[in-house]
């Protein structure tokens, strides 16, 4: 077994743990709970890191080390052709938080978050009944209430753009995990995002609220009053989804 060979070579401190599939969030929580290292960096099984990734993390960690207000470093993710995933708004190292980065500065797409393990242990992914997934943004936005991060213009993470990934099938995934999805959009809306972001996420809340098995009154209590009025246009999205077979 390859992992046993690496462990026998003793070139790296390798801690391999087997876990039955319980979904991405469950695996993430398990991994965080099993480590006592200072730094936590997740790499998905269908992605890879650049050759200089570890060196870039080590050489830039001083930017956050010892600062209790900073939770970690955020690097760029790129596709195999070198194109940045989504949109990155900064042209120099910038301190921000996970909510502000997207709400205020309009960032789009996945990033490579290198986070202090001590912070992640404070903010595990919540469990919603038998659901196996909730948006990562739920955890990041909770962290953003108390911590900033340093965003760097350095790519260290390479993503595969494959058709069966969670990101690609996000609509179907969130419908199957609608309680977690609506919890995410509810918390985001109550953080008072800019109006265009508020409108978009109000529609998305109702898009998945139709599937979370809660009463209408329960859903209404989860969101600001202004978001109530987006239920009608969200019905149009629901019809389009059904036509497209989503």
Q: pLDDT tens for residues 182-197?
A: 999 999 999 999 999 9
Helices (H), 67-215: 98-103, 117-120, 136-144, 170-176, 178-189, 195-209
Over its C-alpha atoms, the chain yields an Rg (Å, rounded) of 19
Q: For residues 205 and 55, give the distance between their C-alpha atoms in angstroms, rounded to a whole number.
A: 40
Q: What is the DSSP letter of 36?
A: -
For tokens 């989504």, what's the residue? Answer: 86
Q: For residues 73 and 138, give the distance between their C-alpha atoms in angstroms, rounded to a whole number.
A: 19
Distance of alpha carbon 56 from the chain centroid: 22
204 close to 182: Cβ distance less than 8 angstroms:
no
Both structure tokens of 177: 């995990």
Q: For residues 69 and 30, give the distance between their C-alpha atoms in angstroms, rounded to a whole number.
A: 25
Q: For residues 179 and 175, give the distance between their C-alpha atoms in angstroms, rounded to a whole number.
A: 9
From the list 147, 152, 150, the residue with the least C-alpha distance to 68 is: 147
pLDDT on residue 162: 58
Q: pLDDT tens for residues 111-150?
A: 999 999 999 999 999 999 999 999 999 999 999 999 999 9
Q: For residues 53 and 24, give the distance between their C-alpha atoms in angstroms, rounded to a whole number.
A: 23
Q: Which residues of the chain have pLDDT under 50?
A: 163-164, 166-167
From the list 72, 144, 66, the residue with the least C-alpha distance to 113 is: 72
pLDDT on residue 1: 66
Q: For residues 246 and 237, give the distance between their C-alpha atoms in angstroms, rounded to a whole number.
A: 11
Q: For residues 30 and 21, give the distance between their C-alpha atoms in angstroms, rounded to a whole number.
A: 11
Question: E strands of 11-69, at which residues?
Answer: 39-41, 48-49
pTM: 0.90
Length of the chain: 246
Angular region, 100: left φ>0, alpha ψ -120 to 50, beta rest:
alpha
């Amino acid at each position: 077994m390859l992992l046993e060979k690496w462990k026998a070579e003793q070139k790296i401190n390798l801690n391999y743990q087997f876990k039955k599939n319980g979904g991405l969030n469950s695996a993430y929580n398990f991994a965080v709970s099993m480590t006592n290292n200072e730094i936590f960096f997740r790499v998905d099984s269908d992605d890879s890191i650049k050759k200089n990734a570890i060196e870039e993390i080590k050489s830039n960690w001083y930017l956050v080390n010892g600062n209790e207000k900073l939770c970690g470093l955020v690097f760029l993710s790129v596709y195999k052709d070198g194109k940045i995933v989504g949109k990155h708004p900064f042209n120099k190292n910038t301190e921000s938080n996970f909510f502000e980065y997207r709400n205020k500065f309009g960032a789009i797409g996945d990033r490579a978050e290198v986070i202090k393990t001590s912070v992640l242990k404070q903010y595990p992914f919540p469990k919603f009944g038998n659901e196996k997934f909730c948006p990562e943004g739920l955890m990041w936005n909770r962290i953003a209430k108390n911590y900033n991060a340093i965003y760097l213009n350095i790519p260290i993470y390479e993503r595969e753009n494959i058709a069966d990934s969670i990101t690609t099938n996000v609509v179907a995934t969130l419908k199957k995990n609608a309680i977690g999805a609506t919890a995410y959009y509810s918390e985001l809306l109550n953080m008072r995002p800019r109006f265009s972001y508020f409108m978009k996420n109000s529609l998305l809340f109702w898009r998945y609220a139709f599937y979370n098995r809660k009463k209408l009154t329960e859903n209404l209590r989860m969101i600001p009053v202004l978001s109530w009025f987006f239920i009608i246009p969200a019905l149009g999205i629901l019809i389009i989804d059904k036509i497209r077979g989503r």
